[in-house]
Structure 1
Amino acid sequence: MSEETKHIKISDYDYPLPDERIAKFPLAERDNSKLLLYKSGEVSEDVFHHLSSHLPQGALMVFNNTKVIQARMHFRKETGALIEIFLMEPASPADYELMFQTNGKCSWFCMIGNLKKWKEGKLNRDFEINGHKLTLSASVDRTKAPEVAGGTNHWIDFEWNNGNVSFAEILEAVGELPIPPYLNRETQESDKTTYQTVYSKIKGSVAAPTAGLHFTDKVLKSLDEAGVVRDELTLHVGAGTFKPVKSEEIEDHNMHTEYIVVHRHTLENLLKHDCSAIAVGTTSVRTLESLYYMGVKLEMNPSALETELHVNQWDPYDYAHNDDGLVLVEGRVVTVEKAIRNLLAYLDKDKLEALHSSTQIIIAPGFTYKIVKMLVTNFHQPQSTLLLLVSAFLKGDWHKVYDYALAHGFRFLSYGDSSLLIP
């Protein structure tokens, strides 16, 4: 199975996407977006605010509650050169929550725009918070630039001269929201609202989990009234989500690592719902499907450390499976329920309320979905790993969805329309 998947040609996942079909801005009412319905091979359409009428009563629906941070900062050198620093991942402290509470100094792995103009020295930027003048300085520590995200990131030390101001406040004052590059426009004030889900809570993403952008309080209320059970997890979306597949075969594409937090109640909710869920967005899919493989790792080694639960890109394809796609460990079938119970036992052992881990999982044709039974998602870029994920979910039938969307005036990508996929 793994070899066939690794030799998938990304050129087979192409389709024509004219620029005018890419939604540059969202609709004024986000839940008025169109909703494509794919049910067992049949395609139709509705309006997003009718979503609850298409979902089974009592089903578990899982949302990604990450919040997009104002991750893009600009500094001007004394020479006039403009340097862009794009925050990618916390370095010190490495914990997202601690990072945003940090006072005085912190360090991040960052991408740098116009790096050739910044050979050495500190960059400074003056600004005000609540009438207090502050200076933020940035410097590159070239001894600490590891091979993170394909070696494109640099370790940047930030310092500011007011110990009472947190890094979260700094970003609020000088950061810009990093909207997707394919929108081909500057970030606008309206994006601060429209490029966040209404249920976003946990700061850390540099891109929105865009399937969630269609939800309004009204739609969430209609889900509750329809008996749909809502739960949340956190996956901090990295800029790697926009990374194009440049290799001919996906074997040579290096998936980015993303950080996840899943609380005990979510695992318990999964058990109550036969380990089945409706995922809102591909980030929720990647997290939920990674849980199974984390549980498999605990089946192999019950005393595994948190870092050892990381799901590598090819883990799902390299294990021995039975005909149902379940992993075999020493001849034993690891059911989805067993994997989830292993994760709960792991939390119990260390008296933890949440699982903190990371995933690099690539979901492509040849992958067997274990937990996600229905998917709410937007329309993705041609030749992207997200299109591979959708194809795997629809057992190759993605063309039917995209041909319909192109022929019926659907809007594409982050601010575009939505779909409900039920294989």
Structure 2
Amino acid sequence: MLTKSDFHYELPPQLIAHEPLDSRRASRLMVVHEHGVKHRQFPDVLEYLQPNDLVVLNDTKVLKARIRAAKDSGGNAEILIERVVSEHEALCQVRVSKALRPARELRIRDRVITVCSREGDFYRLRFDSPVLEFLEEFGAVPLPPYIRRHVLDSDEERYQTVYAQHPGSVAAPTAGLHFDHALLDAIVAKGVQIARLTLHVGAGTFLPVREEELSKHVMHLERYEIPQHTAQRLHNRSGRVVAVGTTVVRTLETWAETGELAGESELFITPGFKFQVVDALITNFHLPESTLLMLVSAFRGRERMFAAYREAVKMGYRFFSYGDAMYMERDGV
């Protein structure tokens, strides 16, 4: 039985990418194959795509989801949106010195956010204007906690894919950050199809796995939607399905299990999982003991994946959201 500790590895802190490279496509690409790895540059991913493949993108858009407010008692409150649940309400993580009770107010200038209730790890908050408008005016880009610097103006562009369309995420689907319009055009010119779906990444993606036994871990919910035209392309495909990012994997494999084109995914993918849709995966390097590392280990095999990670550390690859990428195919594909 695999445990959380089976997915631990040592990462020198200097390999965490705190800044994006000057160009989206300047990242390195590690290709994981049956006999080891190859070291390439990200535009070389085009060589591994074949005519009639279907590349699937997650077109969620990152919200300015981090807000600094003041409690009605005068103390500070840091709010991170988990998900927008209605025009004026959102589930949020709130960092305060003492737990908040219903009806308490948080303020930014003359604007008011009211505590409605506590729901597990989150608070339901009501905003005095539409949430998306409020965030656009007062919010900041929610960089991951391992990026330890202030948010820069450039993050509004670079912590967002070039094809982002539907607002709702509090973290970027980072595998997509490597693509620019020219590379997407080159993929289409090769005879590869591109399709889109939407999964809104929640703040729960940063929550650690607390249980040592993986069977006891409760996966966070994330909302997804697969457009009908994407479903038709998936049904009619003659080539492989290439997922750009773990969010696409979770969405497509949730659809395969439930048959639902829209809903909430709580799929927890660990070694032994039987993939039904995804044949190849483009992804970044993930945190130790994270559910994302468990997913890629399920996709390509834990031992092979950890050998690749050891090689990445040795070769000085850049890790996490603004870091380098991997390409891999399932065995037998």
Query: Shorter-chain TM-score category?
Result: over 0.9
Residues 1:362 and 2:268 aligned together? yes
Residue 116 of structure 1 corresponds to 98
The CA distance in 1 between the partners of 2:246 and 2:329, in whole Å, is 14
Deviations 1:65-107 (Å, cap 9, x if unpaired)?
Answer: 000001111112465421112211223x2xxxxx3xxxxxx11
Structure 2 residue identity aligned to 1:420:
Y
> Match of 1:141, SS?
strand
Residues 1:285 and 2:249 aligned together? yes
> Match of 1:157, SS?
strand
Residue 178 of structure 2 corresponds to 214
| Largest Rg, 1 or 2 | 1
Residues 1:159 and 2:128 aligned together? yes
Are the aligned partners of 1:270 and 1:276 in contact in 2 as well (CA < 8 Å)?
no
1:168 deviates by 2.6
Matches within 5 A, 1:78-117: 80-91=74-85, 93=86, 99=87, 106-116=88-98
The CA distance in 2 between the partners of 1:153 and 1:87, in whole Å, is 9
Are the aligned partners of 1:81 and 1:117 in contact in 2 as well (CA < 8 Å)?
no
1:259 deviates by 0.3
Residues 1:139 and 2:133 aligned together? no
> Match of 1:400, SS?
helix
Are the aligned partners of 1:379 and 1:413 in contact in 2 as well (CA < 8 Å)?
yes
Residue 279 of structure 2 corresponds to 373
Change over 3 Å in CA distance of 1:117–1:400 after alignment to 2: closer
Match for residue 268 of structure 1 among 213, 232, 251: 232
1:395 deviates by 2.5
Residue 304 of structure 1 corresponds to none
1:41 deviates by 3.4
Change over 3 Å in CA distance of 1:121–1:239 after alignment to 2: closer
Deviations 1:246-293 (Å, cap 9, x if unpaired)?
Answer: 211111211000000101111110112158410000000000111111
> Match of 2:175, SS?
helix
Structure 1 residue identity aligned to 2:12:
P
The CA distance in 2 between the partners of 1:359 and 1:125, in whole Å, is 33
Are the aligned partners of 2:84 and 2:131 in contact in 1 as well (CA < 8 Å)?
no
The CA distance in 1 between the partners of 2:99 and 2:241, in whole Å, is 49
Residue 44 of structure 1 corresponds to 38
Are the aligned partners of 1:256 and 1:360 in contact in 2 as well (CA < 8 Å)?
yes
1:170 deviates by 2.1
Structure 1 residue identity aligned to 2:96:
N
Residue 226 of structure 1 corresponds to 190
Greater share of helix: 1
Change over 3 Å in CA distance of 1:49–1:79 after alignment to 2: same
Identity, % of aligned positions: 38
Structure 1 residue identity aligned to 2:213:
E
The CA distance in 1 between the partners of 2:169 and 2:230, in whole Å, is 21
1:243 deviates by 1.4
Gaps of 5+ in 2: none
The CA distance in 2 between the partners of 1:229 and 1:110, in whole Å, is 37
Match for residue 205 of structure 1 among 150, 161, 169: 169
Residue 417 of structure 1 corresponds to 324
1:217 deviates by 0.8
The CA distance in 1 between the partners of 2:107 and 2:93, in whole Å, is 17
Deviations 1:344-370 (Å, cap 9, x if unpaired)?
Answer: xxxxxxxxxxx3211100110010111
Question: Structure 2 length as normaliser, TM-score?
Answer: 0.94
Give the aligned CA root-mean-square deviation in angstroms.
Answer: 1.7
Match for residue 209 of structure 2 among 221, 238, 245: 245
Gaps of 5+ in 1: 1-6, 94-98, 100-105, 127-134, 161-165, 296-308, 310-354
Structure 1 residue identity aligned to 2:123:
H
The CA distance in 1 between the partners of 2:124 and 2:131, in whole Å, is 16
Structure 2 residue identity aligned to 1:110:
C
Structure 2 residue identity aligned to 1:283:
T
The CA distance in 1 between the partners of 2:295 and 2:73, in whole Å, is 46
1:121 deviates by 3.4
Deviations 1:306-352 (Å, cap 9, x if unpaired)?
Answer: xxx5xxxxxxxxxxxxxxxxxxxxxxxxxxxxxxxxxxxxxxxxxxx
1:50 deviates by 2.1
The CA distance in 2 between the partners of 1:79 and 1:242, in whole Å, is 29
Residue 3 of structure 2 corresponds to 9
Per mean C-alpha deviation after superposition, the further-off stretch among 113-122 and 366-375 is 113-122
Question: Structure 1 length as normaliser, TM-score?
Answer: 0.74
Are the aligned partners of 1:275 and 1:371 in contact in 2 as well (CA < 8 Å)?
no
Are the aligned partners of 2:72 and 2:105 in contact in 1 as well (CA < 8 Å)?
no
Residue 406 of structure 1 corresponds to 313
